[in-house]
Every structure is written in C-alpha cells, then in structure tokens.
Amino acid sequence: MLDQSEYAFNELRHLVSERAIQGETMLLNMGPQHPSTHGVLRLLLELDGEIVVNCFPDIGFLHTGIEKNMEAKSYEKAAVMTDRLDYLNNLGNNLVYCMAIEKLADLDVPVRAQAIRVILTELQRIASHLVWLGTHTLDLAAISLFWYTFRERELILDIYEMVSGQRMMTTYFRPGGLWRDVPVEFENAVREFIKIFPQRIEEYEAMLKENPIFIERTRDIGILKAEDAIHWGVTGPLLRATGVEQDLRKADPYMGYEQYEFDVPTQTAGDTYARYQVRMEEMRQSLRIVQQALDKLPYGPVRSNNRKFVPPPRSELGTSMEAVIHHFKLWTEGFDMPEGSVYVAAESPRGVLGVYLESDGGPKPFRVHWRTPSFDNLQILPELARGHLVADLVALMGTTDFVLGDIDR
C-alpha cells in the first residue's frame, strides 16, 4: 500500500490521517530533488486527488553543522562560515554576527562603516528579493521575468565583487567595522544602480500586476491571519503581509537605521499576492535607504581603533613593536572575548535573523545559535497548503521564500 520505507511509515503513522492508512488518500514524495523546492527540501504529501490533505516538510539535507563548527574556530575565522548560512543574504549574516560580537565585547563601529554596512545590506535585500521574484514567477511558469531579475542582481553582485573581491561569499563585515574601505568606483556604481533600478521595478510590475495568470495563481492562495502568523513565529514579509507592522529596522534600530527615512510596507490580505506586493514595495524602500545613506556617507575610518580586537593596519607594523605583537596575537590566537552571553537580532530579507552568542572568556565562541527566519517560516507551510492544489503548493513554497542553507545550518 505504501511505497515508503518501513521507518517512514511507522514514524508518520500518527501524523497522517486514518484515510491514508486505509489507502484512500495517496502519500507522495516531493523532493528533495525537485526544482521548485529551492534547494533540498523533501515534502511528504498526503493527497486526495490533487488536493493537499496534509504536508510534512522533512529538512536536514543541507545540515552542515555550522553551529558546531563555529565553536572550534576563533571569532574572526568563524565569520567566514556565516556567509554560508543563508546564501542569498551573506552580508546580512555577517552583520548580525558582527553585531553580536560588538555587543558582547563593547566594541565601537565607526560611522562610515555603519553607513556602508547599511548600503550593502539594503542592496543585499534587493538582490535577495530579485532571486525570490525570479524563481517565484518561474515556478508559476513566467520564465521571462527570471532573466530580467537575474540581470539586475548581477549589477549588485558586481558591486560586491568590487568591494570585497567576491560575488557572494564576501565576509566583508568584520567585528568592529569592515574588512577595508570601499574603492573609489563604489559610489558611482551604486548611483548607477539607483538610477536604473526604479524603472526596472516598473517593468517587472508591468509584467505581473495585471497578468491574469499571475493573479489567478496568487490571489487568495495560502491566506495567513495575523494572529496565526504571530503564534507560529512567522516574521518578515510574510508577517507584514498580514497587516502587522513589525520591522526590526524601525522597532529596534541598529547601525543607524533611525536616521534614514523609510516606510514599512504592509498589506492586510495575507495571501500570496499580498506578499508579492509587500516585497516589491520593500525593494523601493531599500532603494530609498541606499540613496540617503550614500548621500550623507561620512568620511573617516572604517574599522574600530581598539587594538585588542582589531588587527593594526599594515603600515604600523614596520614602526611599532606593539603593533607587531597585536598583529601576531590576533592572527594566531584571536581575541579573548569577555565572558557572558548576548542575543542580537536584525531584519533579514526573510525576517528576524538573530544570533545567540555565548562566551566563556576564551578566543572561541562557547555557543553560537542562529535564529533563522526560514526555519520558522517553513513550519507554517503545511498550514498554508492544506486544501490547496499541488500546483498551489509550488506557489506557496515560492512565496515563503525560504533558503535551505538558512533552515538546516
């Protein structure tokens, strides 16, 4: 009756309905190698015809033990692993990790570094939403948009390559500031992007806003109510599309977000189309923030001057014995973190991204826990999918905008 292994059946027996055991409904495996699961997610579906009766996400295929590995590395070296969590929000991960260290060590961040961090994470938000838009519409059979969004994303990745030498795994933010200052071409490249991007959003919307197929596939699909969203710990655009105006950039500003003017877009419908509207508007707001941050980008150092945590510049090594000692200590052993624990959170493109960092006073983190938005957002998927068609499930996976690297860690 069941094609599953004995184990799967026994484990899931108490989860599936009586009808599945009788053979009235079908159990179908979707993924882990399925193009619309955006990575390696396995969904076990219980189907009545084409209607989803229940769905069980099975995660862990991308589990790389990053939390465990970080415990074996010094703080600065562990920063490299943060890029690999949510690979569409590398700089956002860098940012939260650095914020946690800065909070625990009471390390200052120069204003120029803060402004550049804001510019780059907002560009990252746009890039992440572009990948979402491209793949989401691709899942809904609108292939052309995918090429357009990836064209614009390339411009952002070029900016990353310019500042850090890497397109994706940048590790550009370091505890106490940035790896190094941005090159002179940076400002023009960002201005160029700000100039062309608003029209491009218009172009995307022209393709989707009045597109009957797109509307048909997204309106009233997977309606989420505000109280359910909060009960399930859902954050980010999913929560804002239910009418809750919750954004950590406004609620609990970090990195000087309080000095920028921007709106938190919300919708009340809570369906897939509302989530699409929220994300489109978020891209415009991010652009506004980038524009303001760039206009008043201050000059000055980009890394803290605290030599106990930040290695001295190369130029000092030839003349100062103390600098040589600091250089040696910081690059071999790393810095000793004061004892204690902090929890720091920031708004990633997918929701609340938090780091719980605990130190026992040594040069390696005692415990790092990543509160990743996709982990909680995926939990709601069965609730959203119940009663919809399998084809709508594909739309729901797209609109949840999860990244498996973020879920499995």
Contacts to other proteins by CB under 8 A: 7, 11, 14-15, 59-60, 63, 65, 67-69, 71-72, 103-104, 106, 230-234, 244, 246, 251-252, 340-343, 345, 352, 354, 356, 358, 366-367, 369, 371, 375-376, 379, 408-409
Torsions phi, psi of 262, nearest 5? Answer: -160, 160
Burial of 121 (0-12, 13-18, 19+ CB in 10 A): buried
Query: By C-beta, is 14 or 195 nearer to other proteins?
Result: 14
Residue 283's H or E segment, with its range, is helix 272-295
Query: By C-beta, is 100 or 201 nearer to other proteins?
Result: 100
CB of 206 vs other proteins, minimal distance in Å: 35
Give the Cα separation of 406 and 105 in Å (integer).
26
CB of 54 vs other proteins, minimal distance in Å: 13
Query: By C-beta, is 218 or 359 nearer to other proteins?
Result: 359
Give the Cα separation of 102 and 355 in Å (integer).
12
CB of 393 vs other proteins, minimal distance in Å: 19
Query: By C-beta, is 34 or 367 nearer to other proteins?
Result: 367
- CA distances (Å), origin 140, targets 154, 215, 394: 23, 10, 8
- DSSP states of 223-258 as a string? ---HHHHHHTT--THHHHTTT----HHHHS--TTGG
Token pair, residue 369, equals: 């826990």
CB of 183 vs other proteins, minimal distance in Å: 35
Query: By C-beta, is 18 or 295 nearer to other proteins?
Result: 18
Neighbours of 29 (CB within 10 A): 14
Give the Cα separation of 279 and 130 in Å (integer).
9
CB of 343 vs other proteins, minimal distance in Å: 5
Give the Cα separation of 309 and 323 in Å (integer).
12
Query: By C-beta, is 106 or 261 nearer to other proteins?
Result: 106
Burial annotation 142-179 (CB, 10 A radius, 16+ → b, else e): beebbebbbebbebbbebbeebbeeeebbbbbbbbbbb
CB of 73 vs other proteins, minimal distance in Å: 10
Neighbours of 1 (CB within 10 A): 9
CB of 180 vs other proteins, minimal distance in Å: 28
Query: By C-beta, is 74 or 246 nearer to other proteins?
Result: 246
CB of 49 vs other proteins, minimal distance in Å: 26
Query: By C-beta, is 46 or 139 nearer to other proteins?
Result: 46
